Amino acid sequence: MAQISDQHFAALPNGTRLHYACAGKAGQPLLLFLHGFPEFWYAWHAQLAHFGDTHFAVAPDLRGYNLSDQPAEVAAYRAKYLLQDIGQLIQSLGYERCIIVAHDWGGALAWQFAIQYPQRVERLLVINATHPVPFAEGLAKDPAQQAASQYMNWLRAAGSEEALVKDDFRVAERLMLGMGENPGWFDADTRARYHACWSRGLRGGVNYYRASRVHPSTAGEPGAAGLSLDPASFRVLRPVRVLWGEQDRALLPGLLDTLDRFVDDLVVTRVPDASHWIVHEQPARVNRWIADSLNH
C-alpha cells in the first residue's frame, strides 16, 4: 500500500485554492478522484493507498468543501467554474490529461468535463453518478425519480446548511447513512473525520444544488422540466466504465437504461448488494473494478 500525503494545496489561475491528498509520484499516470456530497477527499483513502504504487493518485477537496476555498455566493458554484477547477488542477499537477474516477456530484462534474473536454480525459470511471441527459429526463418525466430526488429541493432551500449541522450533525449523518444499507463503515474514526470536515462549513456543498438548474420542479421553478437538452451535444467520446450500487435510493437504476445513446465505448457493472455509498461499503470491490476498468 502506498503512503497517503494530505498536506497539499494547488493555487489555480482562476484564484481558487484547492486542497488535495495524494499517493504515488508525479510523472506516473494521473488518476484523479472526485468526491460527492457531503464527502471530502477522505472518501477515496482506500483507493489512494491502493493505486499510489502504479499511479499518481490525487483526490482533491472540491471547491466548497473541507480545506479548499469555500466561496459564499451561489454563483461561484456554476458548472463552468467547477469544470474550470478540474482542468486547472490537472494542469497545476503537471498533466494535460488524466483518468478520472468520480462519484455522486464529482461524477456529475466528471461526465460534463468529459463531454466538453474529451482531449483532457483518457477514460472516465463513474460510480453512482448519471449522465446529465438521462437525469434531466428522469426528473422531468419519471415520478419515481422525481420522488427520489426531492431531497435536492430541501437542500436548495434557505437554511438547509444550518439544519445539517444541528445536534452534532444529526441530519448530515442521516443523509449519508439513510441512503445506505450497510452503515458499518461509518466507524468512530470515520465519523470524527467527517465531523471535522463538516465543522468547516457545508454551505459550499449545498450551493452545488442551489446553483444547478437540474432539480425536481417546484411551484416557483420548472427545474429540469424547463430544460431543453440536445442529446447530440452530450456525447462522450472517451471510454466510460460505470459501477452502480443498485440499492441507491437517490439515483434509481433506470437512469442507466439509455446510457448507450451517449457513449460508444461503455461497460456498466451493476452491484445488487450495494447502495449509493458503495465506495465506503465495499472498497476492495471498488479497487478491483477500477483495476479492471483501467485495462479493459
Residues serving a catalytic function are 104, 209, 276
CA atoms 275, 278, 282, 286: torsion sign:
positive
End-to-end Cα distance, the chain:
23
256, 268 contact by CB (below 8 A) = yes
Cβ contacts of 159 within 8 Å, gap of 6 or more: none
CA atoms 192, 189, 281, 26: torsion sign:
positive
Distance CA(271)–CA(181), nearest Å, equals: 13
Report DSSP state, residue 66: T
115 forms beta bridges with none
Residue 271 — φ and ψ, nearest 5°? -120, 100
Contacts 24+ apart (CB under 8 A), 164-173: 164/38, 164/198, 164/202, 164/206, 165/198, 165/199, 165/202, 168/195, 169/194, 169/195, 169/198, 172/38, 172/198, 172/202
User: Nearest 5 degrees, angle CA 98-CA 243-CA 279?
Assistant: 85
Q: Which amino acid is at 2?
A: A
Cell of 136: 434531466
Going by C-alpha positions, the residue among 132, 58, 63 that lies closest to residue 95 is 58
